[in-house]
Amino acid sequence: MEPATFVLFGATGDLAKRKIYPALFQLFVDQKLPPSFSLIGLGRRGLSHESFQANVEQSLITFSRSEVKDADVMKKFLRAFRYHVLDIDRKEDYTKLLRLVEERENELNITPNRMFYLSVGPEFFETIAANIHESGLDSANGWKRLVIEKPFGHDLSSARQLNTKLNQAFNETEIYRIDHYLGKPMVQQIGHLLHSALSEQEYRTRKIASVQITANEVLGVEERAGYYDHAGAIRDMFQNHMLQLLMMLTIELPNRSSVEEVGKLKRNVMKALKPLNKTDVTHHIIRGQYGAGEIQGEQVVGYTDEPGIELGSHNDTFIAARLQINDPFWKDTPIYIRTGKRLKEKATRIVIEFNSEGPLKDLLIIEIGPNERIFFQRSQSGMENSDVEIPIRSQHSFMKEVVKDAYEILIHDALIGDKTYFAHWDEVELSWEWVQPILDAYRENLLPLHIYPAGTYGPSESDKLLEIDGFHWWFDAKNVSINDATKGESFEAQKAELIEL
- Whether 180 has a binding-site annotation, put simply, is yes
Alpha helix locations (H) across 140-184?
156-166
Q: How far apart are CA 264 and CA 268, in angstroms?
A: 6
Q: Catalytic site residue 241?
A: yes
- Whether 127 has a binding-site annotation, put simply, is no
Q: Which of 154, 241, 412, 450 is catalytic?
A: 241
Q: How far apart are CA 46 and CA 52, in angstroms?
A: 10
Q: Angle CA(11)–CA(12)–CA(15) in degrees, nearest 5?
A: 75
- Whether 341 has a binding-site annotation, put simply, is yes
Q: How far apart are CA 499 and CA 79, in angstroms?
A: 53
- Whether 306 has a binding-site annotation, put simply, is no
- Whether 251 has a binding-site annotation, put simply, is no
- Whether 346 has a binding-site annotation, put simply, is yes
C-alpha separations of 303 from 154, 221, 316 in Å: 21, 8, 9
Residue type, 480: V
- Whether 177 has a binding-site annotation, put simply, is no
- Whether 207 has a binding-site annotation, put simply, is no
- Whether 348 has a binding-site annotation, put simply, is no
DSSP SS3 for 85: strand
E-state strands within 139-263: 144-149, 175-178, 208-216
- Minimal CA–CA distance to 244: which of 182, 307, 194? 182
- Whether 308 has a binding-site annotation, put simply, is no
- Whether 424 has a binding-site annotation, put simply, is no
- Whether 11 has a binding-site annotation, put simply, is yes
- Whether 13 has a binding-site annotation, put simply, is yes
Q: How far apart are CA 32 and CA 4, in angstroms?
A: 13
Q: Angle CA(189)–CA(29)–CA(121) in degrees, nearest 5?
A: 65
Which residues sit in the known binding site for substrate?
180, 184, 217, 236, 341, 346
- Catalytic site positions: 241
Which residues sit in the known binding site?
10-17, 44, 87-88, 150, 180, 184, 217, 236, 341, 346
Which residues sit in the known binding site for NADP(+)?
10-17, 44, 87-88, 150
